[in-house]
Amino acid sequence: HRLENALATTQTRNTLLATRYDFGVLQGNFGYADNRAIDDNKSNDSKSNDILVGFSAPFGATKLVASYIRHNDKSNANRDAQQWAIGAFYALSKRSDLYTGYGHISNKNGALYTVGNATDKGTAGRDDLYGVGLINPRATLRGLGLAR
């Protein structure tokens, strides 16, 4: 069940298709999601879909990444959103990366999405996120970063 729906009066169905292809000089990513929420009283039914296009390109110890996501709300509210992000990873060692990134989201018709996180309440309009940090997946502390 969902936290905001403790009585389970809404059923959800999500379908995700994703692929990645290595072009040699870069890897391309594509994802498509179909989302449906069906309310018992039928007044709050909603449908939406999401498309993600992204890439990563290695240049020596550096890897550049970028992505674009479009959320298409098919309800009467039509709360669409578009997000794009860019970033870079620098390999300090075999296990540790230094990273930086920037993401921007544009919300429409009162949508409240935030950059990189569709679960937190955002503000209508836009949201930006800057980040820098260190990642070591084998350490107890897997990531350390600063964001705004």
Summarised one tens digit per residue, pLDDT across range 79-136 is 899 999 999 999 988 888 888 888 888 889 988 887 765 545 556 666 777 777 777 6
* pTM recorded for the entire structure: 0.76
Give the pLDDT mean for 47-54.
Answer: 94
Q: Which two tokens stand for residue 132?
A: 């820098």
User: CA angle, corner 41, sides to 39 and 44, nearest 5?
Assistant: 50
Share of the chain above pLDDT 90, in %: 39
Q: Residue 76: pLDDT band by 50, 70, 90 thresholds? A: confident
Q: Which residues of 121-144 are buried (b: 16+ CB within 10 A; e: fewer)?
A: ebeeeebebebeeebeeeeeeeee
Q: What is the pLDDT of residue 141?
A: 47
